[in-house]
Structure 1
Amino acid sequence: MSDDGGLWLLLLGPAGATGLYWALYRYYRNTDKSHAFERETEVEAKPVTGSDRKVDEVTGTRETRIRGDNLRAYRQRVERVRSGGDSS
């Protein structure tokens, strides 16, 4: 029977795809080498400091812009960097 020669080739496809998937998964996930932050890291918590001071209140959508923004004044926002030999 010559059909037996083609059967192993058909089985090789799914087996090879499964092996390639598993190899890539292990390579990129590194599940055996990963650092478990929650278990292996000790974080010392400190009390929260600061104060709550109410500055202003805006209700609804009456104001479409933030007061004091510099959106349109781009020359104030961006400072030109000058190099040593630049004549402009």
Structure 2
Amino acid sequence: MSDESGLWLLAAGPAGATALYWALYRYYRNTDKSHAFEHETEVQAQPVTGSDRKVDTISGTQAKRIGGDNVYAYRTRVSRDES
């Protein structure tokens, strides 16, 4: 009799873990409450509008670096916290 009474305790572990996993999955995934955008939303396609206006042109650039950069001035880039 005592062997059978402890058997439910062994089955409660995996059953409880499965129930907890399923509850957390349902809580965080919200698969029953999520909005199915592809099926519930209608989007009217329209032709693309705009223009191809040229804004700026840079040609003949020979500089290998940007003027005013502070790559080698690491003491000015990184300040020490004197707390």
1:55-74 to structure 2, matched below 5 A, reads 55-56=56-57, 63-65=64-66
Runs of 4+ in 1 over 3 A off after TM superposition: 62-65
Listed as ranges, the matches of 1:1-88 within 5 Å are 1-52=1-52, 53=54, 55-56=56-57, 63-65=64-66
* Deviation by residue 1:5-62 (Cα, 9 ceiling, x = unmatched): 222111100000100111111122221121110011011122212222263357xxx5
Tell me the amino acid that sits aligned with residue 7 of structure 1.
Answer: L
Counterpart position of 1:76: none
* TM-score (normalizing by structure 1): 0.57
- Residue identity in the other structure for 1:56: T
Identity %: 70
Q: Could you list the runs of 5+ residues in structure 2 that have no partner in the other structure?
A: 68-83
TM-score, structure 2 length as denominator?
Answer: 0.59
Q: CA RMSD in A?
A: 2.6
